[in-house]
Amino acid sequence: MKKNNSLFVLIIILCIIGIITNIFLMSSNIFNKDFRIQTEKITINDKNYSIQITQIYSSDEILNNGIDTIINNIKNSFLEEVKNDKGKLVIDYEYSKYKDIYSFHIRGIANIKDILKRKDYIIYYDEKAKKVLKQEDLIKKDYGLYTIFNSNCVDYLNDIDYDESLLEIEDKNYSLLIFSNDNIHIIIINNNEEISIPINYSYIKEYLNKKYFKVRDKIIKDTNKDVEVTPEREETIQENVDKTEELNLPKYLAFTFDDGPALDITTTLLDGLKERNAKATFFVLGNRAVNQGDIIKRMIEEGHVVGSHTYSHKNLLRLSLEEALGEINNTNDIIANITGNKPKYLRPPYGNYNKEILNNSNMTFILWSVDTEDWKKRNADLIYEYIINNVNDGDIVLLHDLYPTSVDGVLKAIDYLKGQNYRFVNIDELFNKKGAIAEVNKTYRYVK
């Protein structure tokens, strides 16, 4: 009897604990409304086909419905196509986050009789507002944006075999956009393979909805503070500028051209520079230089400096140190094979590098103090105006010999600036004229 009693008490206690726990869980469900995602693997097997789905469930029903619709679309079009054939469908997903915005990329890859077909969808969700967003809520898509996308993609894919129609300026080509921490990523599906092309938000700032995106005006392109301008230094620069003006001494500019050589455009530029007795610096890509030895030789013969822009324009920060140095050293060898000398100067693509790359490069890194954004403007007059309004003695100006508009704009600027007592020198001469020495493993944005 005593034993039964204590068992009874124990059961009562357990019940009370159970009830309390339940109340606690319920209340935490009510009060803890954080957004959550869960996934579950689902497999459907039929005698002919199989479907594997990584299903996402979130704490938001509207988002779940949106995801379900996408998954059903993929599933139904597979079922329509597979009919009595053998086939397999895999649906999975990936997501990125920018602040409160999730980009869920859902993809279905179907294999029917060894032919692959894929479908990609992106659904956006604002965690804070608990709302599914449309792409147009986030970014204004128009021709201007697409030209920026296009030139960045062309640049990014230049060593990859791809179907050029994928980059044509059309809505359908730029519909898969993912918003991550620092970059928007354009997803291109080339031959069923996914390529993700990052573009810094600052390049497309004016197209982003300010409600969601806070983009700083200027990207901080490197972490190396070697040439940081302190207030005192700024003052001495200003003093020097004043003195130069006063004595009517010549002022020096180093125009630099990246991403080439680009056949006709570079040739036209070289002709124009020669006519004006202006010298410049060309940061060439190894994979372009390798087939364009003649034009590289011409650059040297006509007094320009040939620097390296790495082999294939990869973002060095996304590579291992070994790979990054490979991109650099390989290009040095290619240039040395053409000119007899390894280049001294390197311009890292996008201005991206770290201390490790710099310290192991044995090169002098040249960034820029004036960014014409010629790749974005594609308008000779705008480029001309920007140059003449923004240059000062000792500046290094960033341009690309990829666009005829850049060539026209810079030549026009040279004609004008000549009358303002400017001289146009290559980077070696800029250091010489300023009595400065280009040190190895150091970065320069200007020489003043």
Size of the site for Zn ion (CB under 5 A): 3
SS3 labels along the chain: CHHHHHHHHHHHHHHHHHHHHHHHHHHHHHHCCCCCEEEEEEEEECCCEEEEEEEEEECCHHHHHHHHHHHHHHHHHHHHHHCCCCEEEEEEEEEEEECCEEEEEEEEEEEECCEEEEEEEEEEEECCCCEEECHHHHECCCHHHHHHHHHHHHHHCCCCCCCHHHHCCCHHHHCCEEECCCEEEEEEEECCEEEEEEEEHHHHHHHECCCCCCCCCCCCCCCCCCCCCCHHHHHHHHHHHHHHHHHCCCEEEEEEEECCCCHHHHHHHHHHHHHCCCCCEEEECHHHHCCCHHHHHHHHHCCCEEEECCCCCCCHHHCCHHHHHHHHHHHHHHHHHHHCCCCCEECCHHHCCCHHHHHHHCCEEECCCEECCHHHHCCHHHHHHHHHHHCCCCEEEEEECCCHHHHHHHHHHHHHHHCCCEEECCHHHHHHHCCCCCCCCCEECECC
Out of 60, 126, 222, 258, name the contact with Zn ion by CB under 5 A. 258
Specify the stretch interacting with Zn ion by CB under 5 A; choose among 4-12, 253-261, 265-273, 367-375: 253-261
Specify the stretch interacting with Zn ion by CB under 5 A; choose among 210-218, 258-266, 270-278, 389-397: 258-266
Please identify the residue of the shown chain whose CB is closest to the bound Zn ion. Answer: 258
Specify the stretch interacting with Zn ion by CB under 5 A; choose among 116-124, 172-180, 257-265, 429-437: 257-265
Examine residue 259 and tell whether it contacts Zn ion (CB under 5 A): yes
User: Strand 422-424 and strand 131-133: pairing?
Assistant: unpaired
Specify the stretch interacting with Zn ion by CB under 5 A; choose among 83-91, 125-133, 256-264, 315-323: 256-264
Between 349 and 394, CB nearer to Zn ion: 349
Give the nearest distance from C-beta 341 to Zn ion in angstroms. Answer: 22
- From the candidates 258, 259, 393, 395, which is the catalytic residue? 258
- From the candidates 155, 400, 401, 408, which is the catalytic residue? 400
Rounded CA separation 304/294 (Å): 14
Between 63 and 306, CB nearer to Zn ion: 306
Specify the stretch interacting with Zn ion by CB under 5 A; choose among 28-36, 123-131, 252-260, 331-339: 252-260
Between 259 and 408, CB nearer to Zn ion: 259
Give the nearest distance from C-beta 350 to Zn ion in angstroms. Answer: 7
Rounded CA separation 391/397 (Å): 8
Between 50 and 158, CB nearer to Zn ion: 158
Cα distances from 332 to residues 144, 290, 313, 392, in angstroms, run 36, 11, 14, 31
Between 259 and 374, CB nearer to Zn ion: 259
> Is-contact 405 233, C-beta < 8 A?
no
Rounded CA separation 32/9 (Å): 34
- Per-residue binding string, Zn ion, 132-171, x by CB under 5 A, is ----------------------------------------
Give the nearest distance from C-beta 151 to Zn ion in angstroms. Answer: 11
Give the nearest distance from C-beta 402 to Zn ion in angstroms. Answer: 9
- 385-414 residues in contact with Zn ion (CB under 5 A) are none
- 341-360 residues in contact with Zn ion (CB under 5 A) are 349
Instruction: Say which residue the tokens 């606690």 belong to.
Output: 24
Give the nearest distance from C-beta 87 to Zn ion in angstroms. Answer: 44
Between 323 and 439, CB nearer to Zn ion: 323
Give the nearest distance from C-beta 262 to Zn ion in angstroms. Answer: 12
Between 132 and 284, CB nearer to Zn ion: 284
Give the nearest distance from C-beta 399 to Zn ion in angstroms. Answer: 10
Give the nearest distance from C-beta 258 to Zn ion in angstroms. Answer: 4
- 14-73 residues in contact with Zn ion (CB under 5 A) are none
- Catalytic residue check, 400: yes
Between 252 and 375, CB nearer to Zn ion: 375
Specify the stretch interacting with Zn ion by CB under 5 A; choose among 19-27, 102-110, 254-262, 328-336: 254-262
Contact residues: Zn ion, CB under 5 A:
258-259, 349
The residues assigned a catalytic role are 258, 400
